[in-house]
Amino acid sequence: MDTTLPINDISDVIEADRNHLWHHLLQHKSLETNDPRVIVEGKGMRVWDATGKEHLDAVSGGVWTVNVGYGRESIADAVRDQLVKMNYFANSAGSIPGSRFAKRLIEKMPGMSRVYYSNSGSEANEKVFKMVRQIAHRHHGGRKHKILFRERDYHGTTITALSAGGQPQRAAQYGPYTPGFVEVPHCLEYRNQYPDAADYGIAAANAIEDVILREGPDTVGAICLEPITAGGGVITPPQGYWERVQEICAKYDILIHIDEVVCGVGRTGEWFGYQHYGVKPDFVTMAKGVASGYAAISCTVTTEAVFDMFKDDAADPMGYFRDISTFGGCAAGPAAALENMVIIENEGLLANTNAMGARLMDNLYALQDKHRVIGDVRGKGLFVGAELVSDRTTKEPVDEKMVQAVVADCMAQGVIIGATNRSLPGLNNTLCLSPALIATPDDIDQITASIDRALTAVFS
């Protein structure tokens, strides 16, 4: 079957790209001799590039974003209808889709209460950092201003989000960093730092308590954690971890901020990743899957108790949250997010995510039996990673170039997969898969068949 798309000549686009675009996360030297990749069309799970070649997208737009798949006319219609009626007003006033989406979102998040809109994951996280700092100033005499983050987690690209990031290769050369952010150890059992401990999950959580005690509990206001670490290697938490983390946070009066920028809105088979683990957060941030990339939107969601801390003294002119995000007032975001949520519900995409996620894991376990280079397979729902090692006993990571060769081989086969990229020195060795939540059994099998062929080609 010919899977190519007939397209018009767009050599002008290629030239304009080569001459004027600065792509994200790309060393551009290669574009002096190769054409840049331009994606021109998408439908369902598939995208077509400027040469007309079809690809099965196993990473939802490259960075786990297009949760409901490409070409959704109902989202485009909802956005268009909203834009011609009312496109923008600063969010100091309300909007019809903004209020409606907030209500629908909170229905999915028992215990949470308030939604603050902005337009990227980094920015949503910055809002929490500012809230925590302001709570420290207003309620703790300036103490409790420190924010803990975890080794291997990522919370965004701005200088402060990088200061809260546990991925040294993302942060390197961009310092000096924002003070007051303190790292706690990772919780990847495959790379157990506490081999003598009876229970890895408890030991990994107790390591957080050690940091709190070292810093002084009265200086620590919050901890920011991904429910499942994404770009740091798809790290699912070990048994018992979250229960113990919550005990520790309660003991020292530390607010819990869950970064759901990747896991949120169905990716893991629940509406939110933290809901698998019985976590009761104070803050939840989300972005990518909220509107599946059909519009830019991010949300910082808080409890009513947090919200109350910003309206307890109406006489204090400095006491409320003095923050604005201009494009947090764009009505296209919540209009797209509302329709995105309707699609997930109407098409039963949480159930599909669980079923297809199980199939993806099973297929990868089968590949692990066949290819010794797969050291570990981890994931939840349609959010899965396979860590590649050159030796299963020592767990020596394979050379990053080999990981990239696997990704390139899949690409040549017409399947787009991902890999940890410039996150941890020597540990960019995990293949990452996050197909849209609409994936079918055939799609899943096609993805893993392509990885099978790529591993054979690169490592045999």
Identity of the residue, 226 or 443, whose beta carbon is nearer to ligand PLP in the bound complex = 226
Identity of the residue, 221 or 418, whose beta carbon is nearer to ligand PLP in the bound complex = 418
Q: Which residue is nearest to ligand PLP (CB)?
A: 121
Return d(Cα 341, Cα 348) in angstroms, integer: 11
Closest contact distance (angstroms) between CB of 378 and ligand PLP is 16
Identity of the residue, 127 or 244, whose beta carbon is nearer to ligand PLP in the bound complex = 127
Return d(Cα 347, Cα 266) in angstroms, integer: 12
Closest contact distance (angstroms) between CB of 197 and ligand PLP is 27
What is the distance, to the nearest Å, from the Cα of residue 419 to the centroid of all Cα atoms in its chain? 14
User: Count H helices, E strands: the chain?
Assistant: 13, 16
State how beta strands 181-184 and 255-259 pair.
unpaired
Cβ partners under 8 Å of residue 169, min gap 6: 422, 423, 424, 425, 428
SS (HEC) of 181-245: EEEECCCCHHHCCCCCCCCHHHHHHHHHHHHHHHHCHHHEEEEEECCCECCCCCECCCCCHHHHH
Identity of the residue, 234 or 451, whose beta carbon is nearer to ligand PLP in the bound complex = 234
Identity of the residue, 157 or 206, whose beta carbon is nearer to ligand PLP in the bound complex = 157
Q: Are 181 and 155 in contact (CB under 8 A)?
A: no
Closest contact distance (angstroms) between CB of 393 and ligand PLP is 32
Closest contact distance (angstroms) between CB of 104 and ligand PLP is 21
Candidates 88, 62, 163, 127; CA nearest to 284 is 127
Return d(Cα 74, Cα 68) in angstroms, integer: 11
Closest contact distance (angstroms) between CB of 262 and ligand PLP is 5
Torsion-angle region of residue 111: left (phi > 0), alpha (psi -120 to 50) or beta? Answer: left
Identity of the residue, 363 or 428, whose beta carbon is nearer to ligand PLP in the bound complex = 428
Closest contact distance (angstroms) between CB of 155 and ligand PLP is 5
State whether residue 304 is helix, strand or coil. Answer: helix
Closest contact distance (angstroms) between CB of 313 and ligand PLP is 32
Identity of the residue, 62 or 414, whose beta carbon is nearer to ligand PLP in the bound complex = 62
Site residues for ligand PLP per CB under 6 A: 63, 120-122, 125, 154-157, 226, 230-231, 259, 261-262, 287
Identity of the residue, 63 or 389, whose beta carbon is nearer to ligand PLP in the bound complex = 63
Return d(Cα 127, Cα 162) in angstroms, integer: 14
Closest contact distance (angstroms) between CB of 322 and ligand PLP is 22
Per the structure block, which two tokens stand in for 74?
């109902």
